[in-house]
Structure 1
Amino acid sequence: MDFQPTEDQRALRAGVREFLEGRFSARDAVRWGEGEPSPEGAGRLDRGLWRELGKAGFFALTLPEARGGVGLGRPEAVLAFEEAGRALLPGPAVATFLAAGEVAGAASGDTVVTAVDGTLVPWLAEADVVQGDAAGAVALRSLDPLTPLHRIPGPPAPGRGTLLHAAEQLGSAARTGEMAVRYARVRTQFGRPVGAFQAVQHLCAQMFVRTEVARAAVYAAAVTGDPLEVCGAKLLADDAAVRNARDCLQVHGGMGFTWEAEVHLHLKRAWVRAELGQSADAAAEALADAL
């Protein structure tokens, strides 16, 4: 049995990547993080981009064609969100995707939807519709300058979109691994590329292994939909995204902390995503209970 993505799935992934690279890039994130106004004001959601995502069918990927959707499945959604994570796409994409077909305008990108996720609500002020009880939510100073957050009082709400958050983490892990290898080839120390040093080679190799282990888990969970496999996928993807971003920072040295480099944004976004969907503690408890 062939478990590789089909030709159509590879074309979908390439198309999403091409769209995001043409319409939004990490350089936009860097500029907005520095305070340069985004198309609709500093720190605010680019609704033009949101509508273009809707027009391209991003939010309606899994809606049946009879309801105006694309009619694809969970594996295709995971591939699309992997590319969103790779591109550092800002905004409550997971919540809007899950609301397509339920909330008017979500599938087309005309309505921005966010949701209470655990104890956090991302993009609360920018959303048109909030799913869940966000009463008493308090604004936080977010680690990620492009993900405004609010915290709700009381017990955490059930996490939503855990598999899609895991896919975003996978895309981020792959991206930072590629960035580390590319930088190690061009940055020189003592007259040699830093990639020639064994310690840096080991870091890059470990990043690759983490990414591919997480990829196998995320893709498997996308096919089976098994809740325990989703738990394992989120744990592995969170670990890969955070640790790869840290190792990529180490390869970049001080350069990685500047606004000229996007790696620190991947680390900050990975920390935030790790708290969305199913938390690491909840996933670990679920897996332990099943053993």
Structure 2
Amino acid sequence: MRFQLTDEQQALRAAVRDVVGRFLSAGPSWLVAPRGGAAKGHSPAPPVDRGLWSALGELGVFSLRLPEAEGGAGLGLPEAVLVFEELGWALVPGPLVATHLAAGVVPGAATGEAVVAAADGSLVEWLDEADVVMPGAEGAVAMRSVDPLTPVHRVPAPARVEPVAVLLTAAEQLGTAGRVCGLAVQHARTREQFGQPIGAFQAVKHLCAQSLVRVEVARAAVYAAAVTGDAVDIAAARLLADEAAVRGARDCLQVHGGMGFTWESEVHLHLKRAWVRARRGGGGTESEELLAADLAGRAS
């Protein structure tokens, strides 16, 4: 299966990167605010950037899959995956998946006027910031999140997770995996020790090469799942994307050394976000069980 992007898909991806890039260049709250609380041992999550949220709505990120008759773009899962890959790449915070899924159901969600939170398995993200909370988040209890940019609550009864939500989370993980791979390679080229770039050392080369392999394997799986929409394909894509994001971010930290743990670096933020995303929908367990059941059925 070949995944050659059309001109329209490439333009869509470039438009999202341009919009997010303009907010990044202005010093976005999601990369700056956590540093203020670092000295005190805590970093409360900044509020959802409403300006960016409106810009994403205007761009059509949330209404992407709505029919044109309902004010959407009438596009499909492949385009949504490309968009969410870019959002993951830029570490954009907020309940992106929940708001996207609520478009056409919750007034204002499609245009970015409303921030929507929803239970995803046993967790709900950004509950206190949401304008609308979907059913299933009742009785949620606040938890201390490993990611200072993603406040989370635990719900007493795990909610059912839609395959589309799993796929879009996998796309975000793919974006993070690609970003940390690039950061590792860039640092390996410019950081010098013993009179040469650290990328000249075999151990560093292997970390970067293995990260790239995981990214490309995950990308093929995520893109394929977006085309087929099959639940088993989505489960496989989710597991590969989780691995690419988490292991890639850990290896990127290894390449950066102690510098990667500082607030001046975004590397540790990607790792923490990847950890939180990997817990959505009950973690990878449900995807593993779905794959196991499918394989067992084929064997029998």
Q: TM-score, normalised by structure 2?
A: 0.92
Residue number in structure 2 paired with 1:212? 216
Residue number in structure 2 paired with 1:35? 36
Identical pairs, percent: 63
> 5+ unaligned residues in a row in structure 1: which ranges?
none
Cα distance, 1:43 vs. partner? 1.6
Q: Are 1:191 and 2:192 counterparts?
A: no
Cα distance, 1:19 vs. partner? 1.1
Partner of 2:117: helix, strand, or coil? strand
Q: How does 1:66-85 map to 2 (within 5 A)?
A: 66-85=69-88
Residue number in structure 2 paired with 1:158? 160
**CA distance in structure 2 between the aligned counterparts of 1:26 and 1:267, rounded to whole angstroms:** 23
> Would the aligned equivalents of 2:3 and 2:223 in 1 still touch at CA under 8 Å?
no
Letter in 2 for 1:158: R
Residue number in structure 2 paired with 1:284? 288
Letter in 1 for 2:8: D
Of 115, 133, 139, the residue aligned with 1:136 is 139
Cα distance, 1:224 vs. partner? 0.4
Letter in 1 for 2:31: V
Residue number in structure 1 paired with 2:260? 256
Q: Label 1:25 to 1:150 Cα distance change in 2 as closer, same or farther (>3 A).
A: farther
Q: TM-score, normalised by structure 1?
A: 0.95
The C-alpha deviation readout for 1:251-281, integer Å capped at 9, x for no partner, is 0000000011100000000000001146201
Cα distance, 1:135 vs. partner? 2.1
Residue number in structure 1 paired with 2:40? none
Alignment root-mean-square deviation, CA: 1.6
**CA distance in structure 2 between the aligned counterparts of 1:163 and 1:262, rounded to whole angstroms:** 24
Cα distance, 1:42 vs. partner? 6.2
Cα distance, 1:27 vs. partner? 5.4
**CA distance in structure 1 between the aligned counterparts of 2:208 and 2:259, rounded to whole angstroms:** 17
> 5+ unaligned residues in a row in structure 2: which ranges?
38-43, 296-300
Q: How many residues align?
A: 286
Moved more, 238-247 or 49-58: 49-58
Q: Label 1:76 to 1:183 Cα distance change in 2 as closer, same or farther (>3 A).
A: same
Q: Label 1:231 to 1:49 Cα distance change in 2 as closer, same or farther (>3 A).
A: same
**CA distance in structure 1 between the aligned counterparts of 2:263 and 2:27, rounded to whole angstroms:** 9
Residue number in structure 2 paired with 1:20? 20
Q: Label 1:129 to 1:143 Cα distance change in 2 as closer, same or farther (>3 A).
A: same
Of 164, 174, 178, the residue aligned with 2:178 is 174
**CA distance in structure 1 between the aligned counterparts of 2:237 and 2:294, rounded to whole angstroms:** 15
